[in-house]
Amino acid sequence: MQIKAPRGTYDILPEQSIKWQWMEKIIKDTAGQFGYQEIRTPVFEHTELFERGVGETSDIVSKEMYTFQDKAGRSITLRPEATASCVRAFIEHGLYNGLLPVKWYYSGPMFRYDRPQTGRFRQFHQFGVEVFGSDNSLLDAEVIILMMEIFKGLGIKEPELHINSVGCPSCRPGHRQELIDYLTPLKDKLCKDCQQRYMTNPLRVLDCKNQSCHQTITGHPTIADSLCPACTRHYEQVREALSENGVAYIHDNNLVRGLDYYTNTAFEVHIPGLGAQSAIGGGGRYNGLVKECGGPDVPGIGFALGMERILLAMEASGRLIERSAALDVFIITMDDKFSRHALQLTNKIRQSGISADMDYNHRSPRAQMKFADKSNAKVVIMIGEEETEKGFYLVRNMQSREQYQIDQEDFIAKLQTILLKNEEEIG
Ligand code: HAM
């Protein structure tokens, strides 16, 4: 029987990976401009990290984790997100003793056992940032500005930024109780999930995707009404800073996020035309998380973007132009007996920093030319009887279709000139 990739996973073949590389470069360059540096953490961690970090009542921990026992009987989980891993690394390396804030970015695969559909996978990719060591509201604004700059750089049209404040441990319990009191008489009208969670995690009822729950709770008490003075001020400052920097946002009373660690600012970006999985990114502050995970009381904030959804959004914006890898040079042999010479020449060209390839499948010169064309080679070099005897190469510029005989002496420098001229002409 044929073995296929597991459900909810997929391969990124070269014609796609070139788009990924382009997208990742823009994202990482933008993060670099904002002073963020890359962190790479393991793709698996001790299960307890996510239970404590993301929270046991969240869907991610209660239903979606890939958890298994390793050979020594330890419970291990494939990371469903990377914030908890960054927090662990921040604590483990004692970075709270160093220069703060620490500004990190990461990208890589995440794993969630959910029902696959368009834009939702079991192995998917996130780009994210995490900042530790400052509770300045201007930093909240910076993190959101960075996210919006990334969308701009990628040409994503009209990303809709939703923001809210989810309060802090001093104002949240009041709102939580108000919400439970409000939801209790409505209990029977809620969906099964909400009936189970309205007592343990009533905030999650607010962002239930079920339309009838949504309608049932239209008049719910909002967090905004219960915020303590410090949280109110913080949220106001974030909103002011966003406006001062030209970032448009929607204040969204229902935005609570699906992970338990958030405090104060929470945000999400939606692309309305993207269908059910319209959130291309989300994040917020998590001032209690470092402490919760065993570190000192250091505040944090960050976001993560779903890379697959970003690609879908770019496609929808008409920005995802077909890209193909272009090879500088393809070497064609007029006869198989020149192939050893071809390999030496190919390597010499590569060592000079020019990309080059040749035929290994004993194709006819005609078929090699077709192959060169398909590989988008800019220049083709032909080696045959006459060329080897007289000490030159026949070079065809595939863009201008011009053909030259170039002396084998000083060949690389001349080749570089041809490639450079082509680039200048393309602009
Ligand atoms: P999240 O909202 O769970 O937040 O995920 C962030 C983004 O990852 C989502 O907006 C979505 O685009 C993408 N995503 C999530 N699940 C899937 C899936 N199954 N398939 C495809 N894409 C998906 C977090 O993960 C937090 N760690 C963000 C954060 C960082 N908060 C603070 N710092």
Amino acid sitting at position 308: E
Q: Please state, for a pLDDT cut of 90, what percent of the chain lies above it.
A: 79
Give the pair of three-digit tokens for residue 2.
Answer: 């044929």
Give the range of the structural domain holding residue 391, as residue numbers without chain letter: 329-426
- Whether the pLDDT of residue 165 is over 70: the answer is yes
Clarify whether residues 302 and 342 are in a common domain: no
User: Tell me: the pLDDT tens digits for 113-160?
Assistant: 999 999 999 999 999 999 999 999 999 999 999 999 999 999 998 899
- Choose one of 316, 351, 383: the last residue of a domain: 316
Ligand 1, residues 50, 59, 309, 311: which to mutate, most atoms within 8 A of Cβ?
Answer: 309
Q: Please state, for a pLDDT cut of 70, what percent of the chain lies above it.
A: 98
Rounded to an integer, the average pLDDT of 358-371 is: 97
Query: How high is the mean pLDDT of the chain?
Result: 93
**215 domain residue, yes or no:** no
Please tell me the predicted confidence (pLDDT) of residue 20. 94
- Reported as half-sphere exposure (CB side, CA atoms, 13 A), residue 72 has a value of 3
Task: List, in sequence order, every beta strand (DSSP E) within 133-229.
Answer: 160-165
Closest atom of ligand 1 to 82 CA is 27
Residues 32, 38, 43: CA angle, nearest 5 degrees: 145
Indicate the pLDDT class of residue 258, thresholds 50, 70 and 90.
confident
Q: Could you tell me the CATH number of the domain that includes residue 56?
A: 3.30.930.10
Please tell me the predicted confidence (pLDDT) of residue 324. 67
Q: 193 C-alpha to center of ligand 1: Å?
A: 20
How far apart are the two ends of the chain, measured CA to CA in Å?
51
Worst-scoring range by mean pLDDT, 131-135, 338-342, 410-414, 422-426? 422-426
More confident residue, 264 or 198: 264
CA distances from 144 to 35, 64, 332 (A): 14, 27, 52
Closest atom of ligand 1 to 259 CA is 3
Closest atom of ligand 1 to 310 CA is 12
- Our count of domains for the chain comes to 2
Name which residue sits closest to atom 10 of ligand 1, judged by CA: 281
DSSP output for 193-235? HHHHHTTT-THHHHT---HHHHHHTTTPPPSGGG--HHHHHHH
**345 domain residue, yes or no:** yes
C-alpha span between 199 and 271 (Å, rounded): 32
**Selection from 374, 382, 420, 385 nearest residue 403 by Cα:** 382
Helical ranges in 273-338 per DSSP H: 289-292, 307-316
C-alpha span between 136 and 267 (Å, rounded): 16
More confident residue, 208 or 166: 166
Rounded to an integer, the average pLDDT of 164-190 is: 92
Whether the CB-CB separation of 374 and 405 falls below 8 Å is answered with no
Please tell me the predicted confidence (pLDDT) of residue 208. 84
Clarify whether residues 39 and 128 are in a common domain: yes
Please tell me the predicted confidence (pLDDT) of residue 424. 79
User: Tell me: the pLDDT tens digits for 307-364?
Assistant: 999 999 988 877 766 666 789 999 999 999 999 999 999 999 999 999 999 999 999 9
129 membership: H or E segment, kind and range = strand 123-132
**255 domain residue, yes or no:** yes
